[in-house]
Structure 1
Amino acid sequence: MQLRQLQHLVALAEQGSFGRAAQAVHLSQPALSRSIDTLEDSLQARLIDRAYGTVRFTQAGELVLARARELLADAQQIQRDVLQLEGLAIGSLAVGLGPFAASTLGRMALSLMTQRHPQLLMRMEVADTATLCERLHRRQLDLFIADTRDLKKQPGLKLARLPDLPVSFFVQPRHPLRRLKQVTLERAMDHPLAGPNLPAEVAAYFDRQTRRSDRGAFSVTCDDAGTLRHLALTANAVILAPHAPALDTDTNALAPLPIVGFAGMRTHYSLVTLAGRTPSAAASAYTRLVTELMGPAKQPAVR
């Protein structure tokens, strides 16, 4: 039994004769008759009583006709739902962001997605890369954006590299360290030094640069960019954050603080999805938006 055969049955009921029904569905009358015969054979029941020379439905035919109308209506609704989904009139999107990605891309991307697709259900989570990876494998996220230096050997993932952004230390504009001609990491550590959870190799590099044995380089670890900014403004903290004025609002009220040995720091963002999984329309739209925000001339390279 096929939907096409049910369509022919409904057309026969609506038109009242094989000739008019055949014209309505763009078939010859013999072809329409064969379609109805095939439907009856598949159901092993007589649906049309042909003895009277007119179209009369048997009791089984009335039952099948009612169900056929329901099924055809459902099929049309499926088509409408898919079209709506592809147009993002319905659907959902769950995005994970690492701390740096949240403070740069996260807010702007969420705002633009909401403006462009107001009916789309969206959820955004901020966490470290390991947690985001676990949630992606559990299908709790559609994708995530984070520093992926620790994910180089992770199986089952597709990583699309995004353009790197500069990373700097920041302080409030009247911080005493800004009066110095040169600031070392040791000198910066005389003040609260704050940053997010860092990739293992990055955190190890920072710790190697200090001679202190009583603690690591950072005295405060926090993945919330707004809290880091608050620490810089209220507690004279030195914070580590991306330097992306076009995307980032968390460091706009702060001043960059050059520290010896840490020039040229950059992010290592990737957009991460599960390998072999077709992205939803919402995930594809979000990916295009991220590419647009990171720079129209810089397309992510898949590795």
Structure 2
Amino acid sequence: MIDGKIITAVKALARYESFREAAQAVGTSPASFSRHITQAEEYAGNILFERRRNGAQLTAAGQRFLSLLDDLDDASSIFEQGVEQLRATGTPTLNIGCGPLTTRTLVNPLIEQLLQEMPELRIRITVSATKEPLESLRRGILDVAICDLTHTPDLSDLDIQVIEKKPVSFWARPQHPIHKDAPVLLADIFRADLIAPKFHKHWQAAIAAVLGGDQKAWGAVEKIPKVECDDYGLLADLACRRDLIFGGMRDAVAQHATLGLLKEIPTKQELNWNICAARRKNVSFPALDRIWNSLSERPT
């Protein structure tokens, strides 16, 4: 079996394309890192990286080897999940992945309902604004993902349902100067100091289009948001203290708005956020079916 340090080294070099940066990223010496790459190539029987003066790039064999490592990760994850379920025989577990937009307004009521109907159920919730929930779903780590799926190119192996379609809203403390010009263009919002979760490629493209769609617009997108965090409570609290614009759904700042700490910024255009649910096809058990049916019953 291939050593874990070798796997880590190969993945790091494929990502950074630099022996020095990759070694720093994994926290090992350049000599040890180089040795791990050599061991990987001996193990694979092929040259995995083309060495260049300005870095290293995967060869065709390296790309295939990296793909096999991903397959190994998937198999290992499914194995660990199966063992964990075996250990917990008799105690059903539902694993939910969601984005920060959905935790209070959508996931919490569902959890409350499930626990009332199935008091023996154990629930694990993973919150992330990136694409990891779908990757974990495919590996069997999650049973259902509730998040923004618009950036995912291939959904053929998943069941999908749209749960909510809501406009993105923008908020700032009442003293923020942008309120004087309201309603404002979306471009004005994105040229200001914006705080939000991580923007995936779909949202980056949408924002770049708002800013003009040229090279300058994409350069600006790379600097957005000014503060990036998946914790909406943290971002809302920060917007109350500084002249920073918070972007998200109204439900996430309802308490701050009621207290007069944040004020919505009217805009001349609208961006919509589609919240979807996903599960693997042909996977079914009582707790998963119950939450899936509950999601289906929600008005979009």
Report the TM-score, using the length of structure 2 for normalisation: 0.58
1:249 to 1:286, Cα distance in 2 relative to 1, 3 A:
farther
Q: How does 1:264-279 map to 2 (within 5 A)?
A: 265-278=271-284
Instruction: Output the CA distance in 2 between the equivalents of 1:220 and 1:205.
Output: 19
Give the C-alpha shift of residue 174 in structure 1: 3.8
Give the C-alpha shift of residue 185 in structure 1: 4.2
Structure 2, unaligned runs of 5 or more: 1-88
Instruction: Output the CA distance in 1 between the equivalents of 2:113 and 2:203.
Output: 32
Task: Judge conservation of contact 2:182–2:266 (CA < 8 Å) in 1.
Answer: no
Specify the code of the residue in structure 2 equivalent to 1:234. Answer: R
- Secondary structure at the aligned position of 1:99 is classed as coil
Give the C-alpha shift of residue 124 in structure 1: 0.7
Superimposed CA distance per residue, residues 24-82 of structure 1 (whole angstroms, 9 cap, x where no aligned partner): xxxxxxxxxxxxxxxxxxxxxxxxxxxxxxxxxxxxxxxxxxxxxxxxxxxxxxxxxxx
Instruction: Output the CA distance in 1 between the equivalents of 2:242 and 2:119.
Output: 39
Give the C-alpha shift of residue 220 in structure 1: 2.2
Superimposed CA distance per residue, residues 62-117 of structure 1 (whole angstroms, 9 cap, x where no aligned partner): xxxxxxxxxxxxxxxxxxxxxxx9xxx95211100023223531333334434444
Q: How does 1:183-222 map to 2 (within 5 A)?
A: 183-185=184-186, 187-189=188-190, 191-210=192-211, 215-216=220-221, 217-222=224-229
Task: Judge conservation of contact 2:182–2:267 (CA < 8 Å) in 1.
Answer: no
Paired residue for 1:105?
106
Task: Judge conservation of contact 1:104–1:242 (CA < 8 Å) in 2.
Answer: no
Instruction: Output the CA distance in 2 between the equivalents of 1:112 and 1:177.
Output: 41
Paired residue for 1:257?
265
Residue 283 in structure 1 maps to residue 284 in structure 2: no
Q: Which has the higher helix share?
A: 2
Task: Judge conservation of contact 1:98–1:128 (CA < 8 Å) in 2.
Answer: yes
Task: Judge conservation of contact 2:190–2:207 (CA < 8 Å) in 1.
Answer: no
Give the C-alpha shift of residue 203 in structure 1: 1.6
Give the C-alpha shift of residue 221 in structure 1: 2.2
Instruction: Output the CA distance in 2 between the equivalents of 1:251 and 1:135.
Output: 35
Instruction: Output the CA distance in 2 between the equivalents of 1:251 and 1:128.
Output: 23
Output the aligned Cα RMSD: 3.0
Paired residue for 1:165?
166
For the pair shown, the structure with the greater C-alpha radius of gyration is 1
Identity of aligned residues (%): 22
Residue 239 in structure 1 maps to residue 239 in structure 2: no
Paired residue for 2:83?
none
Give the C-alpha shift of residue 268 in structure 1: 1.4
- Secondary structure at the aligned position of 2:292 is classed as helix
Superimposed CA distance per residue, residues 128-172 of structure 1 (whole angstroms, 9 cap, x where no aligned partner): 352011111121111011111122423311112223122211223
Structure 1, unaligned runs of 5 or more: 1-84, 299-303
1:250 to 1:215, Cα distance in 2 relative to 1, 3 A:
same
Give the C-alpha shift of residue 250 in structure 1: 7.0
Would you say how many aligned residue pairs link Structure 1 and Structure 2?
Answer: 204
